[in-house]
């Protein structure tokens, strides 16, 4: 039997051991159901018409064939601003946060074509999705996503808790039958946030301050020994992945950030979010400035082979870049 005492309250993890600690999360909103996945969407991000996603032909094939969108952990992402994850005292929580990045700037950005979309210039593509922020659950599946080995990862739910009960050691000792054995139940996605990145001066204190410290909890009459867990280490990792320095302001970045329940977990480089067909309605596919002559035909071939229904496929258009023939990187 473990000699550690762990108390879990939504937003807090309290572990009584040699160094008991609390991992802070966002404040619980009034009326929020703590038994369900937490989805937070900032008001600003709801105002945009479209979300712009620069990628390449290989990724487009994956998106259209598998109907998934990759989300990389902060420690595996090719971040252009390392301050996003190098926060004093909480770097150990970066692996438990996964981001998918978009721009909300309503035109092509020349430098994006050079910086993003892979290393093959003539296969770069820009996907212009209609904004999904206002109706996220209608456009993304929120029951499970995929891991790199093909196994599934739960979003926090009744079914996740039921699976834990059946498949854990105690459940097996009680004779419960294992269920959902194609899931990795070591963790789950506990929350999803959709927001605009905040851009701050390079020397702003948020990039250098210590996000760990000490906290005290007054247990009152709850415990006969109120000193048992009265002094704890506290971590505030919620700013990871949300702020960048001003040199990157021109990107106008919006993000989907998925956070694991056990935030210290760092064994997965990425997750693949599952897309509902409706997200592809009225999609605009922009071929890069250096598009090869066959690129449009190849994209149409990928669309033809996609499981997306024909009515939605007919709403998708493929266009040439406004910068075609004008860039020389």
DSSP string, 140-153: B--SEEEETTS-EE
Domain ranges of the chain: 5-50+61-101+138-279
**pLDDT-derived band of residue 295, with 50, 70 and 90 as boundaries?**
very high
3-state SS of 39-54?
Answer: EEECCHHHHCCEEEEE
Backbone phi, psi, residue 162, to 5°: -65, -40
CA–CA separation, 104 and 134 (whole Å): 14
pLDDT at 157 over 60: yes
Residue 15 is predicted with a pLDDT of 53
Confidence class for position 280, pLDDT limits 50, 70, 90: very high
Whole-number average pLDDT of the chain: 90
> Stretch 119-134: mean pLDDT, rounded?
97
Supply the pLDDT for residue 80.
86
The pTM (predicted TM-score) of the whole model is: 0.90
Question: According to the model, what pLDDT value does residue 38 have?
Answer: 94
Q: Hey, CA dihedral for 300, 302, 304, 310, is it positive or negative? A: negative
Whether pLDDT at 25 is above 80 = no
Q: What is the DSSP string of 210-268?
A: --EEEE----TTS-S-TTTT-SEEEE--TTTTTEEEGGGGGG-EEEEEEEESSTT----
DSSP annotation of 309: -
Across residues 125-138, what is the average pLDDT? 97
The answer, yes or no, to whether residue 227 has pLDDT greater than 50, is no
pLDDT grade, residue 216 (50/70/90)?
low
Contact between 79 and 101 under an 8 Å Cβ cutoff? The reply is no
Dist CA 171 CA 168 (whole Å): 5
- Render pLDDT for 187-206 as a digit per residue (tens, 0 to 9): 999 999 999 999 999 999 99
Q: Are 329 and 290 in contact (CB under 8 A)?
A: no
Please check the confidence at residue 321 and state whether its pLDDT lies above 90. yes
- For 131, the token pair is 């904004």
């Amino acid at each position: 039997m473990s000699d550690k005492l762990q108390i879990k309250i939504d937003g807090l993890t309290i572990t009584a051991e040699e160094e008991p600690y609390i991992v802070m999360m966002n404040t619980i909103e009034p009326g929020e159901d703590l038994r369900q996945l937490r989805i937070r969407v900032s008001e600003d991000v709801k105002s945009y018409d479209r979300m712009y996603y620069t990628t390449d032909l290989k990724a487009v094939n994956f998106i259209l064939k598998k109907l998934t969108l990759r989300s990389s952990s902060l420690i595996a992402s090719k971040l252009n601003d390392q301050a996003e994850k190098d926060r004093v005292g909480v770097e150990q929580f970066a692996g438990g946060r996964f981001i998918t990045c978009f721009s909300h700037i309503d035109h092509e950005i020349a430098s994006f074509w050079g910086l993003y979309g892979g290393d093959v210039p003539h296969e770069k593509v820009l996907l212009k999705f209609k904004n999904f922020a206002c109706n996220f659950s209608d456009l993304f599946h929120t029951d499970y996503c995929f891991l790199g080995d093909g196994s599934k990862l739960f979003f926090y739910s009744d079914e996740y808790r039921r699976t834990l009960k059946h498949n854990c050691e105690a459940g097996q000792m009680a004779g419960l039958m294992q269920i959902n054995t194609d899931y990795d139940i070591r963790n789950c996605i506990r929350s999803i946030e959709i927001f605009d990145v905040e851009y701050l001066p390079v020397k702003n204190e948020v990039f250098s301050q210590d996000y760990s410290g000490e906290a005290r909890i007054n247990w009152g009459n709850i415990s006969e020994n109120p000193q048992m867990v009265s002094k704890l280490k506290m971590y505030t990792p919620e700013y990871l992945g949300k702020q960048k320095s001003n040199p990157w302001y021109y990107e106008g970045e919006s993000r989907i950030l998925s956070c694991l329940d056990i935030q210290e977990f760092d064994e997965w480089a990425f997750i693949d979010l599952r897309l509902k067909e409706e997200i592809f309605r009225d999609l605009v596919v922009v071929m890069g400035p250096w598009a090869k002559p066959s690129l449009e035909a190849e994209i149409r071939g990928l669309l033809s082979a996609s499981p997306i229904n024909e009515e939605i496929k007919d709403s998708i258009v493929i266009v040439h870049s406004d910068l075609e023939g004008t860039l020389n990187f």
